[in-house]
Amino acid sequence: MPTALPAPFRHRLRVYWEDTDAGGVVFYANYLKFFERARTEWLRAAGVGQQALREATGAIFIVSETSVKYLRPARLDDEIEVSVDVREQGRASMLVAQAAWRGSELLAEGLIRIGCVDAGTFRPTRIPTPILDALA
Amino acid sequence: MPTALPAPFRHRLRVYWEDTDAGGVVFYANYLKFFERARTEWLRAAGVGQQALREATGAIFIVSETSVKYLRPARLDDEIEVSVDVREQGRASMLVAQAAWRGSELLAEGLIRIGCVDAGTFRPTRIPTPILDALA
Amino acid sequence: MPTALPAPFRHRLRVYWEDTDAGGVVFYANYLKFFERARTEWLRAAGVGQQALREATGAIFIVSETSVKYLRPARLDDEIEVSVDVREQGRASMLVAQAAWRGSELLAEGLIRIGCVDAGTFRPTRIPTPILDALA
Amino acid sequence: MPTALPAPFRHRLRVYWEDTDAGGVVFYANYLKFFERARTEWLRAAGVGQQALREATGAIFIVSETSVKYLRPARLDDEIEVSVDVREQGRASMLVAQAAWRGSELLAEGLIRIGCVDAGTFRPTRIPTPILDALA
């Protein structure tokens, strides 16, 4: 049973060896993972488990578009906070603004477009009503 | 000694288990890896090895901005071709258009902004002249 | 239609940024990916596509046990060859010896136990006969 | 200033999309990442930051050997606890037993050999005394 979502939502994570590259910093592609983790925890905070969603409705969220600016490098052991802020909410998709912070330093920011699709066909489908309500 | 770059450049790769996610398709963040592999091979085709570049000049290429649209899902065993096409060329950065194809199907396309920085300070630095010449 | 497998099988790959970590070398966990890529290409060389196998029989190969020694570090741009050598062949599993080489330098070596399972239940199932024949 | 390590140490994590593969379960190679995250947090709990260690002493921990059994699949959204238990403690290396649990179900277990090396040369070096004391 989804509940009202906290806003602004923030998820905290740590930089591990797996996240870094030979430049000594976080590999840029991994910010998409960090953003995804934060969205997952944001959905969980609203009572939405994606595995449960799929089993109950056959629907999954997919990412259809991403744009990210990488502003400052993060390093091993850094603690990072990732924010989630819905900018547009449609019936089958939404646009989410996200940012990664180390304290007051903005490391990366981006816009992520999420769609809801049928897990079998990958055709767009409506976001289930209880989730729409929770996201409202 | 860099040489003239072939254009349009294409790099072929295979989708392995590591590239997929529980949706049964390529995890979207991995297209950034696919694009990077293609850029690396494109530089190599011009005689530019990035490890050698770093040892010789202290400079590395970093990614400062990415925008990607994910159009069709790719699956395990798919063979994908990734294209590299320079759109803007500056003295310390460039903008590269990239696309991933499965045969004639466009799977993903994006714009990647690359900067040249000092590997120690991450401050912008000029792209070494032989590379600029090769990219011209 | 699987055909006799070449032996010893070797797969060549390149080290990209995505493979490295802040130690400046290939992140050790990624040798499991390199080994997997080589096994996939080895199966393909025998005419076995894993996606096609799943669609035709409902069976997938899973990894049930891995042991790896990491002997020398690999770096960005290194070209690596990965070998595949079946040590034991059973009806539902096999043990594969694998090694990663940079020229004549042994970088890592390991033993990987593979099982064949039903993709829905993850219960062990016999390796389809044409594949057993090809692996013989 | 390292302090006495808690024992047995456990680190909790969540399975995200990035961790899964097209089998619908956690990609086996990622248990090495989960184990590493737990070791990092275990060191942190003892006051040892690896980035700080490197800057202060030039030493880094590397993984020289891993053996892992994958017993049960984990899925998206699962909460996993990873344990850390030192089995052998030498002056330049240690052997750590690790396991991943979902509640009372054992998902994977392994032995990880860690070495201490100079970050520049990758030659073995003694584990700094304060860390040895903390690990004792």
Please give, rounded to a whole number of angstroms, the shortest distance from the CA of D68 to a CA of chain B: 18
Q: What is the pLDDT of residue A7?
A: 59
Tokens found for residue A60 = 């999954």
Residue C133 is predicted with a pLDDT of 84
pLDDT at C1 over 80: no
* Across B60-74, C24-38, C39-53, least confident range: C39-53
Percent of chain C clearing pLDDT 90 (strictly above):
85
Mean pLDDT of D11-20: 98
Q: What is the CA radius of gyration of chain C?
A: 15
Instruction: State residue D7's pLDDT score.
Output: 59
Radius of gyration of chain B from Cα atoms? 15
Given a cut of 80, whether residue C104 has pLDDT beyond it is yes
D101: left (phi over 0), alpha (psi -120 to 50) or beta: beta
Residues in C touching B37 (Cβ below 8 Å): 14, 16, 18
DSSP string, chain C: ---PPPSSEEEEEE--GGGB-TTSSB-TTHHHHHHHHHHHHHHHHTT--HHHHHHHHSEEEEEEEEEEEE-S---TT-EEEEEEEEEEE-SSEEEEEEEEEETTEEEEEEEEEEEEEETTT--B-PPPHHHHHHH-
Chains near D with 3+ CB pairs less than 8 A apart are: A, B, C
Asked if pLDDT for residue C21 goes beyond 80, the answer is yes
Contact A28 B63 (CB under 8 A): yes
- Tell me what pLDDT residue D69 has: 98
Quote the mean pLDDT of chain B: 93
Q: Would you give the DSSP letter of residue A52?
A: H
- Residue of A121, A49, A46 lying closest to A89 (CA atoms): A46
Structure confidence by residue, pLDDT tens digits, B44-58: 998 899 999 999 999
Burial of D57 (0-12, 13-18, 19+ CB in 10 A): middle
Kindly give the parts of chain A with pLDDT less than 70. 1-7
| Torsion sign (Cα): D12, D13, D15, D19 | negative
pLDDT digits (tens, 9 = 90+) for D23-65: 999 999 999 999 999 999 999 998 899 999 999 999 999 999 9
D106-118 confidence digits (pLDDT tens):
999 999 999 999 9
d(CA A20, CA A14): 12
Nearest CA in chain C to D58: C23
Q: Which residues pair with A96 in a beta bridge?
A: A86, A112
Cβ neighbours of C66 in D, within 8 Å: 28, 66-68, 70
- Which residues lie below 8 Å from residue C19, measured CB to CB, with a gap of 6+? C26, C27, C30, C33
- pLDDT tens digits for A82-106? 999 999 999 999 999 999 999 999 9
Burial zone of C28 (CB within 10 Å; 0-12 exposed, 13-18 middle, 19+ buried): buried
pLDDT of residue D130: 81
Residue range B1-20: average pLDDT?
80
Residue of A nearest to D34 (CA): A18
Identify the CATH homologous superfamily for domain B9-135. Hotdog Thioesterase (3.10.129.10)
Residue C6 has pLDDT above 60, yes or no: no
Question: Could you tell me if A36 lies within 8 Å of chain D, comparing CB atoms?
Answer: yes
Encode pLDDT of C58-85 as tens digits.
999 999 999 999 999 999 999 999 999 9
* Strands lying side by side in the sheet with D93-102: C9-14, C79-89, C93-102, C105-118, C59-70, D59-70, D105-118, D93-102, D79-89, D9-14
Q: What is the pLDDT of residue B73?
A: 97
Percent of chain D surpassing pLDDT 90: 85
Kindly state the average pLDDT of the residues B76-105: 96
**Who among A64, A69, A70 is closest to B70 (CB)?**
A64
Are the CB atoms for B131 and B48 separated by under 8 Å? Answer: yes
Average pLDDT estimate for D78-98: 96
What gap in Å lies between CA C82 and CA B64, rounded to an integer? 33
Query: Chain D within 8 Å of A41 (Cβ-Cβ)?
Result: yes
Is C79 within 8 Å of chain B by CB? Answer: no
| Inter-residue contact A43 to A127 (CB < 8 Å) | no
Q: What is the pLDDT of residue D1?
A: 43
Structure tokens at C99: 């090694």
> A75 touching D, CB under 8 A?
yes
- Neighbors of chain B with 3 or more C-beta pairs under 8 Å: A, C, D
pLDDT at residue C45 greater than cutoff 70: yes
pLDDT at D74 > cutoff 60: yes
What would the pLDDT profile of B77-89 be if each residue is shown by its tens digit?
999 999 999 999 9
Residue B7: per-residue pLDDT: 59
**How far apart are the C-alpha atoms of C117 and C128, rounded to whole Å?**
11
Domain ranges of chain C: 9-135
Domain A18-135 has CATH 3.10.129.10: yes
